Structure 1
Amino acid sequence: MIERHDPHTGLHSEQGALPGEHPGRARNPIVKVHDLAWLEFQKPDLERAEAFAAAFGFTTALRTPDEVQLRGTDAGSPCVLIRRGPRSRFLGPTFRAADGQDVLRLAEATGTTLRPLPDSLGGVAVDLVDPNGTRVRVVADTHQLPTLPTQAPLTFNIGHDVARVNATQRPPRVPARVQRLGHVVLQTTRYRQTLDWYLEHLGLIVSDFLYHQGQRERGPVMSFIRCDRGSTPTDHHTLAMTLGPANRYVHSAYQVPDLDSLAAGGEHLLDRGYQRSWGIGRHIQGSQIFDYWRDPDGFLVEHFTDGDLFDCTLEPGWAPMSASGLAQWGPPATRDFLGVKPGPEALRELRAVIGALRADNEFDLRRLHGLMKAFTS
Structure 2
Amino acid sequence: MSSPWIEGLRSVALHVPDLAKAEDFYTRTWRLEVAARTEDALYLRGTGTDGYLLALHQGGEQPQIRQVTLRARSHEALAQVQQRALAAGATLIAAPHALTHDPAGGTGMTFRDPHGRVFQVVHGDARHEPAAPMPDRPIRLTHVVLNTHAVDQTQAFLEQALGFRLADRTAIMAFMNCDRDHHTIALGISDNDALNHIAFLMPDFESVMRGGGRMKDAGFAIQWGPGRHGPGNNLFNYFIDPFGVVIEYTAEVEQIDDSYVSHGPEHWKWPSGRVDQWGISAPPGATLKEAQRRILFAPS
- TM-score (norm. length: structure 2): 0.86
What is the CA-CA distance between 1:196 and the residue it aligns to?
0.3
2:89 match: none
What is the CA-CA distance between 1:331 and the residue it aligns to?
0.5
Answer yes or no: is the 8 Å Cα contact 2:11–2:53 preserved in 1: yes
Residue type of the partner of 1:116?
Answer: A
2:116 match: 133
Pair 1:62-2:36 in alignment: yes
1:42 match: 15
Residue type of the partner of 2:177?
Answer: R
Identify unmatched segments of 5+ residues in structure 1: 1-24, 153-175, 212-220, 229-233, 350-377
Pair 1:116-2:98 in alignment: yes
Answer yes or no: is the 8 Å Cα contact 2:163–2:178 preserved in 1: yes
Between Structure 1 and Structure 2, whose CA radius of gyration is higher? 1
Structure 1 stretch displaced more, 181-190 or 110-119: 110-119
Residue type of the partner of 1:75?
Answer: T
> How many pairs align?
281
Answer yes or no: is the 8 Å Cα contact 1:180–1:255 preserved in 2: yes
What is the CA-CA distance between 1:64 and the residue it aligns to?
2.5
What is the CA-CA distance between 1:97 and the residue it aligns to?
0.6
What is the CA-CA distance between 1:119 and the residue it aligns to?
4.7
1:202 match: 162
Pair 1:222-2:173 in alignment: yes
CA distance in 2, matches of 1:66, 1:46: 8
Kindly provide the CA deviation profile for residues 56-108 of structure 1, in whole angstroms up to 9, marking residues without a partner as x: 12111112231111111111231111111113111121111101111022234
Pair 1:312-2:263 in alignment: no
Change in CA separation of 1:210 and 1:110 when aligned onto 2, cut-off 3 Å: closer
Answer yes or no: is the 8 Å Cα contact 1:76–1:146 preserved in 2: no
Change in CA separation of 1:347 and 1:181 when aligned onto 2, cut-off 3 Å: closer
CA distance in 1, matches of 2:117, 2:73: 22
CA distance in 2, matches of 1:134, 1:283: 26
Answer yes or no: is the 8 Å Cα contact 1:131–1:190 preserved in 2: no
Kindly provide the CA deviation profile for residues 13-60 of structure 1, in whole angstroms up to 9, marking residues without a partner as x: xxxxxxxxxxxx8xxx8x531101111100010111112212112111
Answer yes or no: is the 8 Å Cα contact 1:236–1:286 preserved in 2: yes
The one of 146, 149, 163 equivalent to 1:189 is 149
CA distance in 2, matches of 1:108, 1:285: 31
Answer yes or no: is the 8 Å Cα contact 1:292–1:302 preserved in 2: yes
Change in CA separation of 1:290 and 1:313 when aligned onto 2, cut-off 3 Å: same
Residue type of the partner of 2:10?
Answer: A
Residue type of the partner of 2:68?
Answer: P
Answer yes or no: is the 8 Å Cα contact 2:12–2:68 preserved in 1: yes
What is the CA-CA distance between 1:292 and the residue it aligns to?
0.6
The one of 44, 48, 53 equivalent to 1:79 is 53
Answer yes or no: is the 8 Å Cα contact 1:131–1:193 preserved in 2: no
Partner of 2:239: helix, strand, or coil?
strand
Q: CA RMSD in A?
A: 2.4
CA distance in 1, matches of 2:138, 2:293: 33
Answer yes or no: is the 8 Å Cα contact 1:284–1:325 preserved in 2: no
Alignment of 1:285-304 (within 5 A): 285-304=231-250
CA distance in 2, matches of 1:107, 1:124: 13
Partner of 1:235: helix, strand, or coil?
coil
CA distance in 1, matches of 2:126, 2:221: 34
1:364 match: none
Partner of 1:150: helix, strand, or coil?
coil
The one of 279, 283, 289 equivalent to 1:339 is 289
- TM-score (norm. length: structure 1): 0.69
Residue type of the partner of 1:99?
Answer: S
1:231 match: none
CA distance in 1, matches of 2:67, 2:18: 19
Kindly provide the CA deviation profile for residues 223-247 of structure 1, in whole angstroms up to 9, marking residues without a partner as x: 111114xxxxx11111100221111
Answer yes or no: is the 8 Å Cα contact 1:251–1:299 preserved in 2: yes
CA distance in 2, matches of 1:36, 1:59: 19
Kindly provide the CA deviation profile for residues 306-362 of structure 1, in whole angstroms up to 9, marking residues without a partner as x: 11110012131112476856311131213146515xxxx59979xxxxxxxxxxxxx
CA distance in 2, matches of 1:134, 1:119: 20
Residue type of the partner of 2:159?
Answer: L
Answer yes or no: is the 8 Å Cα contact 2:211–2:249 preserved in 1: no
1:150 match: 133
CA distance in 1, matches of 2:249, 2:10: 17
Query: Which structure has greater strand proportion?
Result: 2
Kindly provide the CA deviation profile for residues 235-265 of structure 1, in whole angstroms up to 9, marking residues without a partner as x: 1111100221111000011111112122122
CA distance in 2, matches of 1:325, 1:235: 25
Partner of 2:25: helix, strand, or coil?
helix
Identify unmatched segments of 5+ residues in structure 2: 87-91, 296-300
Partner of 1:275: helix, strand, or coil?
coil
